Amino acid sequence: MGTPRGLERLIFFTDAVTAIAITLLILPLVSIVPTHPAPTESVWPLLVDHASQLGSFVLSFLVIARFWLAHHAIFEHVGRYNRQLTFWSLAWAFTIVVLPLPTAITAAYATSPLTIALYIGTVLLSSLTLAAITFTVRGNQLIESQTNPISRETYVNSITSVVCIAVALLLGLTVPHVTYFGLLLLLLASPVNRFVLRRLARRDAARTA
């Protein structure tokens, strides 16, 4: 069983990986500036010519930011750590640091089932590892904070996110013109969570009645 100091180092490591991954997203955009005409000319041709790269950067930044917030929220409920939690945290960090690669691929290559699978598949793996972290912590008295246990809402949210991204991947691969826009299903995660939580609350109330 790990020490509080070891837990801090694990959190610092995953935070650093996230920061590096976000930094790697912007580097290809910085490198394209010298390839365009002199700075005295309009910047619009630069933005228009590389609109796909800019879009990929914004999308991946939002995805990584969302996953970091979820990872941060989960670790608010962690009092100690074990090997299983360390493994899943490192697996999550791996998916985050890999994401700049499919991001660059989506900007450089035409959209195809393979590019969609690479990008949304990586996002799905990241969501799955976050869910695994949640399952590892919830109810484990050795590592879950006894004063701040994982709520049912956090637990349900981890499952909902995986389902939304899995459906986005399926739609991106099977429905024409959906491509990466299927990830917008993540916007439905919050209302779906509220619906599921209400149903669970009603079920609990019926059981205790």
pLDDT at 40: 57
The identity of residue 103, as a single letter, is: T
DSSP state of 209: -
By residue count, the chain amounts to 209
Q: Per-residue pLDDT averaged across 91-110, rounded?
A: 91
Mean pLDDT, rounded, for 2-21: 88
pLDDT, average across residues 61-85: 91
Long-range CB contacts (within 8 A, 24+) of 170-178: 172/116, 172/120, 173/113, 173/116, 173/117
- Mean pLDDT to the nearest integer, 56-78: 90
pLDDT category, 146, cuts 50, 70, 90? confident
Q: Does the pLDDT at position 25 exceed 70? A: yes
pLDDT digits (tens, 9 = 90+) for 156-198: 889 999 999 999 999 999 998 899 889 888 888 888 888 888 8
CA 79/CA 75 separation, integer angstroms: 8
What is the Cα–Cα distance from 98 to 14, expressed in whole angstroms?
13
Chain centre to alpha carbon of residue 199: 26
pLDDT tens per residue across span 52-64: 778 888 889 999 9
What's residue 2's pLDDT? 67
